[in-house]
Chains A and B, each alone.
Chain A
Amino acid sequence: MSQHNIQVTVNGRLHTATVEGRLTLSDFLRVEAGYTGVHIGCEHGVCGACTVIVDGQAVRSCLMLAVQADGSSITTVEGLTAPDGTLHPVQQALRDEHALQCGFCTPGVVMTLAALTSGASKPAARTLLDALSGHVCRCTGYQGIRRAAIKLAGEPGAKK
């Protein structure tokens, strides 16, 4: 069972660690590095709660090994809020639309929407809603999350 030295930048901070090959990125972020905003629901790629941004791409962190993230730059939900506590536009939209109840699925949803809306031009509502299919929410019935996504989209009024 091999051990590996890794260097990962998380929310701008460099972390170095020695990890077992089988350690998932989600466990590394949550247990070893302390980013408990990375929620682990299913641990096998179904629920989307563990979504983080790795080198600009939203990915499920339970479907990557920590050793694979060596050298990369990662953003978790902790990295979105401004130091003074101002919410990221995605967080604000979800809050405005009452898009969470227990909040377990929320960090994953936030990271997906943040990754998709980070560019200069805002994607179509359709694109955001399609990407939400990668998240399971057991509480809200999704309508608030959908409203928040439509609000964040570039094209107004797209309903479906």
Chain B
Amino acid sequence: MKPAPFDYVAPDTIEDACKHLTEAGGGATVLAGGQTLMPLLALRLSQPFILVDINRIAALKGVSRTDGGTRVGPMTRQNEIIANSTLAAALPLLVTATRHVGHWQTRNRGTIGGSIALGEPAAELPATAIALGARVEARSARGTREIAAADLYIGPYSTALQPDELITAIRFPEWPAGTLPLFREVAQRPGDFALVGLTGAVTVEDGRISRAGIAWFGMGPTPVRASQLEKALLGQRVAGLDVQALAELAIAETAPFDDHHATAEYRRTVGRRIFARTVSEQLQPRNAT
């Protein structure tokens, strides 16, 4: 038993969970799937006074269609996302990205909300939420607010969520039929966090790009939205894209660093290449003219 001592509560309702978070005054940590938090507790990198386990709150689970999009409960397990037919039709990128999260065994418990709340910069789901234009609903005893995923991440493991706030939904906008997922990651082993990863959705109408949401993971202290690239792609003919030139623009906003796995220069080089390869393999063959 390695974690430092803590009190443990497992409320049944969102209201009770928020009450515990408020009362703890910043000393609480929320336990979702636990697949990252439990290691942090074991290593004593996280030492909360009180652990608020939200696994018993039914209102935080499940996927539903809403006007203008899809609502995903934060406690939906990653393997449930992969198996969900609504998501397969509405948000294929989310399903593809989730397949790359951890291992099958950890996806049985790991949740989408846990991953998004944690903000690991090399993780698949925060970047994918940004690419898809998701908004996160955060609830506290003070009220409810929505935060765009693009505004959520401040630094590694650091988000705009306040200590008393709980994610109660992740709302994805509608992406039209004809939207193609772009996804590729380079990792040392399957299941590892990415050294470099690209995630995006591109809508093509009559051979031209009408909408694009693209983000990087493992390419800086937070997931990075490739907004210059998104703008440059609009209106372009897919068949005529100059992928080499666009690759430079694609990584323009990234801020990769050196660590014991790879250098920043390596990450930029891999970034340019996987962008070019992903566009030419996943986008252009389906839009040959």
Looking at B5, B8, B43, B55, the one whose CB has the most chain A CB atoms below 10 A away is B8
Count how many chain A residues have C-beta atoms less than 8 Å from C-beta atoms of the other chain: 30
Q: Is the CB of A63 within 8 A of B103?
A: no
A48 at interface (Cβ–Cβ under 8 A)? Answer: yes
Q: Is the CB of B34 within 8 A of A63?
A: yes
B162 at interface (Cβ–Cβ under 8 A)? Answer: no
Which of A4, A27, A58, A64 sits near B38, CB closer than 8 Å?
Answer: A64
Rounded to whole angstroms, the CA-CA distance of A48 and B106 in the bound complex is 9
Q: Closest residue to A31 on the B side, CB-wise?
A: B1
Rounded to whole angstroms, the CA-CA distance of A68 and B9 in the bound complex is 10
Q: Is the CB of B34 within 8 A of A131?
A: no
Q: Is the CB of B105 within 8 A of A131?
A: yes
The segment from A18-26, A80-88, A89-97 that touches chain B is: A18-26
Q: Is the CB of B4 within 8 A of A22?
A: yes
Which residues 35-92 of A have a CB within 8 angstroms of B?
43-46, 48, 51, 57-60, 62-65, 67-68
A residues in contact with B3, CB < 8 Å: 22, 24
Q: Is the CB of B7 within 8 A of A45?
A: no
Which of A21, A22, A45, A48 sits near B39, CB closer than 8 Å?
Answer: A45
A residues in contact with B55, CB < 8 Å: 68
A residues in contact with B51, CB < 8 Å: 21
Which residues 1-58 of B have a CB within 8 angstroms of A?
1-10, 31, 34-35, 38-39, 41-43, 51, 53, 55
Q: Is the CB of A23 within 8 A of B39?
A: no
Q: Is the CB of A51 within 8 A of B1?
A: no
| Inter-chain residue pair count (beta carbon < 8 A) | 95
A residues in contact with B189, CB < 8 Å: 133
A38 to chain B, nearest CB (A): 14
Rounded to whole angstroms, the CA-CA distance of A138 and B109 in the bound complex is 26
B240 at interface (Cβ–Cβ under 8 A)? Answer: no
A44 to chain B, nearest CB (A): 4
Q: Is the CB of B103 within 8 A of A22?
A: no
Q: Is the CB of A62 within 8 A of B38?
A: yes
B residues in contact with A20, CB < 8 Å: 1, 5
Q: Is the CB of A63 within 8 A of B35?
A: yes
Q: Closest residue to B190 on the A side, CB-wise?
A: A133
B104 at interface (Cβ–Cβ under 8 A)? Answer: yes
A residues in contact with B191, CB < 8 Å: 133-134
Q: Is the CB of A44 within 8 A of B53?
A: no
Q: Closest residue to A67 on the B side, CB-wise?
A: B8
Rounded to whole angstroms, the CA-CA distance of A141 and B2 in the bound complex is 30
A121 at interface (Cβ–Cβ under 8 A)? Answer: no
B108 at interface (Cβ–Cβ under 8 A)? Answer: yes
Rounded to whole angstroms, the CA-CA distance of A2 and B3 in the bound complex is 14
A residues in contact with B4, CB < 8 Å: 22
Q: Is the CB of B7 within 8 A of A2?
A: yes
Which of B31, B38, B53 sits near A45, CB closer than 8 Å?
Answer: B38
Rounded to whole angstroms, the CA-CA distance of A24 and B3 in the bound complex is 9
B54 to chain A, nearest CB (A): 11
A residues in contact with B41, CB < 8 Å: 22
Q: Is the CB of B38 within 8 A of A44?
A: yes
B5 to chain A, nearest CB (A): 4
Q: Is the CB of B5 within 8 A of A1?
A: yes
Chosen A-B contacts, 13 in total, with CB atoms closer than 8 Å, are: A24-B42, A44-B38, A46-B39, A58-B104, A58-B108, A60-B105, A62-B42, A63-B35, A64-B34, A65-B8, A112-B105, A130-B104, A133-B189
Partner-B contacts on A (CB < 8 A): 1-2, 4, 20-24, 27, 43-46, 48, 51, 57-60, 62-65, 67-68, 112, 130-131, 133-134
The 3 closest A-B pairs by CB, nearest first: A21-B8, A134-B103, A44-B39
Partner-A contacts on B (CB < 8 A): 1-10, 31, 34-35, 38-39, 41-43, 51, 53, 55, 102-106, 108-109, 189-191
Other than A59-B105, A63-B109, A134-B191, give 6 A-B pairs with Cβ distance below 8 A. Answer: A2-B6, A22-B5, A24-B1, A62-B38, A68-B55, A133-B191
